[in-house]
Structure 1
Amino acid sequence: MRTLILFATDEGQTEKIARRISERLAAQGIASDRHNIAVGPNRPIALDAYDAVIVGSPIHYSHYDVRLAEYLKQFRDILHEMPSAFFSVSLGILSNDESEQDEIRKITEAYLHETDWNPLLTTHFAGALTYSKYNWLKRKLVQLVVKKGGGPTDTRFDYEFTNWKQVDLFVEQFVEFIQRCKQPDDEYAQRTLYSKPTRRYSVANLRAKAEESA
Structure 2
Amino acid sequence: MARYLMIYHSREGQTFKIMSRFAEQLKATDHEVELLALPELAESFSLAGYDIAVIGASVRYGHFSPLLYQFIERHHHALDAMTSVFFGVNLTARKPEKNTPETNAYMKKFALKSPWVPDLQGVFAGACIYSKYTWYDKAVIRFIMKLTKGPTDTSKDYEFTDWERVDSFALKLAQLSSK
Please indicate, yes or no, whether the TM-score normalized by the shorter chain is above 0.5.
yes
Q: Which residue of 2 aligns with 1:124?
A: 123
Establish whether residue 32 from structure 1 lines up as the match of residue 33 from structure 2: yes
Which structure has more relative contact order (CA 8 Å, sep 6+)? It is: 2
Q: Matched residues in 2 for 1:63 and 1:112: separation?
A: 13
Does the CA-based 8 Å contact 2:101-2:107 persist in structure 1? no
Q: CA deviation at 1:44?
A: 4.2
Q: Which residue of 1 aligns with 2:109?
A: 110
Q: CA deviation at 1:86?
A: 0.8
Alpha-carbon deviations, 1:104-138, whole Å to 9, x = none? 63432332343311112111100001111100011
Residue pairs, 1:47-58, within 5 angstroms: 47-58=47-58
Q: Which residue of 2 aligns with 1:2?
A: 3
**TM-score, scaled to structure 1:** 0.76
Q: Which residue of 1 aligns with 2:135?
A: 136
Alpha-carbon deviations, 1:54-77, whole Å to 9, x = none? 111111122111101111111111
Does the CA-based 8 Å contact 1:41-1:67 persist in structure 2? no
Does the CA-based 8 Å contact 1:88-1:125 persist in structure 2? yes
Q: How many residues align?
A: 178
Q: CA deviation at 1:37?
A: 1.4
Change over 3 Å in CA distance of 1:105–1:99 after alignment to 2: closer
**TM-score, scaled to structure 2:** 0.89
| Residue identity in the other structure for 2:94 | L
Secondary structure at the aligned position of 2:104 is classed as: helix
Q: Which has the higher strand share?
A: 2
Residue pairs, 1:1-214, within 5 angstroms: 1-38=2-39, 40-42=40-42, 44-95=44-95, 98=97, 105-178=104-177, 201-202=178-179
Q: Matched residues in 2 for 1:100 and 1:164: separation?
A: 13
The structure with more radius of gyration = 1
Q: Which residue of 2 aligns with 1:192?
A: none
Q: Which has the higher helix share?
A: 1
Q: Matched residues in 2 for 1:148 and 1:51: separation?
A: 43
Does the CA-based 8 Å contact 2:93-2:104 persist in structure 1? no
Secondary structure at the aligned position of 1:110 is classed as: helix
Q: Matched residues in 2 for 1:114 and 1:47: separation?
A: 22
| Residue identity in the other structure for 2:86 | F
Change over 3 Å in CA distance of 1:115–1:150 after alignment to 2: closer
Structure 1, unpaired ranges of 5+:
179-200, 203-214
Does the CA-based 8 Å contact 2:99-2:124 persist in structure 1? no
RMSD over aligned Cα atoms = 2.2
Does the CA-based 8 Å contact 2:100-2:122 persist in structure 1? no
Alpha-carbon deviations, 1:149-190, whole Å to 9, x = none? 222222122111111111111111122232xxxxxxxxxxxx
Secondary structure at the aligned position of 1:15 is classed as: helix
Structure 2, unpaired ranges of 5+:
none
| Residue identity in the other structure for 2:168 | L
